[in-house]
Amino acid sequence: MKLTTKGRYAVTAMMDLALHETDKRRVALKSIADHQEISVAYLEQIFAKLKANGLVRGTRGPNGGYRLSKPARNISIFEIIDAVDEPIDVTRCHGRKDCQDGEVCLTHELWTDLSHQISSFLDQLKLGDIVKTPRVRAVAERQSMRCAETKHTQRVSFS
Amino acid sequence: MKLTTKGRYAVTAMMDLALHETDKRRVALKSIADHQEISVAYLEQIFAKLKANGLVRGTRGPNGGYRLSKPARNISIFEIIDAVDEPIDVTRCHGRKDCQDGEVCLTHELWTDLSHQISSFLDQLKLGDIVKTPRVRAVAERQSMRCAETKHTQRVSFS
DNA sequence: ATAAATACCAAGTAAAATACTTGGTAATTG
DNA sequence: CAATTACCAAGTATTTTACTTGGTATTTAT
């Protein structure tokens, strides 16, 4: 379980989708790219993985874009990060059980315990819950207002 | 809170010190280097940081080496890792509080919560407790036996 | 006094991982 | 049929990590 900026991009992007879940419209990567100020091409890589892990579905063409492939309340933060970030090998002995003699194994349980701790924490956190919090809601409102105001300027700050 | 191999080296090295705490003798980096199969020079860098953070004390000259600067039961795994690994900026907005408008801050609390979760887990784990576990004790026994047997061969496998 | 063993110090380099970019093709809609 | 989107396969640039190199300073034993 690694946590890189890629994983963070993925989580905020998924929140973006979750916030528009009620709409019929798909969310285009272009729009997310503007929100997060990263390139569409980079987002494509992230969404390729999200899609491969069955978290989103994409449709092409004008008015195309992505939507969540299941309800936000059933998607955990763990799933999202796990989909895009490579798993880190916390134990250094590559998870083999028969490492009773190697140096690593003194601390083997230490690292696996930690790893489980992190995973279960993030697995309890559902996208739906986070999107429901007042802060996020408020920010989402502000965002859509701002989008309307500055539609053509292309420079919108997500939050 | 980052976790790299450097941090893992640091933890096992500290365990090495803790296991020899009862002795009057210091533990030389040479000995730890043999156990962990890494260079003394690299260990020096690690111990420089451990020392700077007040976790160990070193003495020079023959029969010199390092010892813990406080009882193992008062040293947490968090302290050790925190001393040697650079802190990771989980929030991406560099921890500033006034980021109500930035993109990052939707997930700000998410990452800080996670970070606290990890830190407190590792802070509860004390070096002394870990060293007391039967598995570690057994390994330590085996190691010292092996050390006695092969004292001059220089090639001892820690565990 | 000197040699050996250690810690201590400041750079550098090599390798790996991360964060992107570039240059395309395929499907869908107005 | 032109625009807009997803989809795809590489490549490159940057940063981080993991080390190495080449020294100096102390202490101990002989």
Distance in angstroms: CA A157, C1' C5: 61
Mean pLDDT of B136-148: 60
pLDDT of residue B114: 84
**Is B87's pLDDT higher than 60?**
yes
Flag the least confident range among A101-105, B92-96, B125-129: A101-105
Q: CA-to-CA distance for A35 and A154, rounded, in angstroms?
A: 10
**Is A136's pLDDT higher than 60?**
yes
Amino acid at B137: R
Token digits of residue A98:
């028969």
pLDDT tier, B147 (very low <50, low <70, confident <90, very high otherwise): very low
**Is A31's pLDDT higher than 60?**
yes
Given an 8 Å threshold on Cβ–Cβ distance, is B159 in contact with A92?
no
Confirm or reject contact between A77 and chain B (CB < 8 A).
yes
pLDDT of residue A144: 53
Cα dihedral B80, B83, B89, B95 in deg (nearest 10): 110
**Is A8's pLDDT higher than 60?**
yes
Task: Measure in Å the smallest separation between the Cα of B12 and chain A Cα atoms.
Answer: 7
- DSSP 8-class letter at B94: T
Chain B residues touching residue A101 (CB < 8 angstroms): 157, 159
pLDDT of residue A152: 26
Distance in angstroms: CA A49, C1' C21: 18
Please tell me whether any atom of strand C lies within 7 Å of the Cβ of A134.
no
**Is A82's pLDDT higher than 70?**
yes
Confirm or reject contact between B105 and chain A (CB < 8 A).
yes
In chain A, the residue whose alpha carbon lies closest to the alpha carbon of B132 is A106
Q: B1 near B55, Cβ under 8 Å?
A: no
Task: Measure in Å the smallest separation between the Cα of B71 and chain A Cα atoms.
Answer: 19
Q: B68 near B51, Cβ under 8 Å?
A: no
Q: CA-to-CA distance for B34 and B21, rounded, in angstroms?
A: 19
Residue A68's CB: how many other CB atoms inside 10 A?
A: 20
CA angle A93, A99, A102 (to 5 degrees): 80
pLDDT of residue A105: 62
Beta bridge partners of B63: none
Distance in angstroms: CA A138, C1' C12: 51
Report chain C positions within 7 A of protein CB atoms: 4-11, 18-23, 26-30
Given an 8 Å threshold on Cβ–Cβ distance, is A157 in contact with B102?
yes
Rg of chain B on CA atoms, in Å:
19
Mean pLDDT of B146-158: 27
Flag the least confident range among A20-29, A93-102, A134-143, B100-109: A93-102
- Surface of B (32-71) touching A: CB under 8 A: 35-37
Roughly what angle, to the nearest 10 degrees, separates helices B105-124 and A108-124? 150
Please tell me whether any atom of strand D lies within 7 Å of the Cβ of B62.
yes
Confirm or reject contact between A111 and chain B (CB < 8 A).
yes
Which of B103, B112, B20, B108 is CA-nearest to residue B66? B20
Flag the least confident range among A66-70, A73-77, A111-115, B57-61: A111-115
At residue B46, the 3 state secondary structure works out as helix
SS3 letters across chain A: CCCCHHHHHHHHHHHHHHHCCCCCCCECHHHHHHHHCCCHHHHHHHHHHHHHCCCEEEECCCCCEEEECCCHHHCEHHHHHHHHCCCCCCCCCCCCCCCCCCHHHHCHHHHHHHHHHHHHHHHHCEHHHHHHCHHHHHHHHHHHHHHHHCCCCCCCCCC
- State the average pLDDT for chain A: 79
Confirm or reject contact between A3 and chain B (CB < 8 A).
yes
Q: Which residue has the tokens 């990052």?
A: B104
Beta bridge partners of A66: A27, A58
**Is A7's pLDDT higher than 60?**
yes
Chain A residues touching residue B37 (CB < 8 angstroms): 103
Flag the least confident range among A26-30, A36-40, B26-30, B78-82: A36-40
Amino acid at B69: S
pLDDT of residue A92: 55
- The predicted model scores a pTM of 0.82
Q: CA-to-CA distance for A44 and A92, rounded, in angstroms?
A: 31
| % pLDDT > 90, chain B | 48
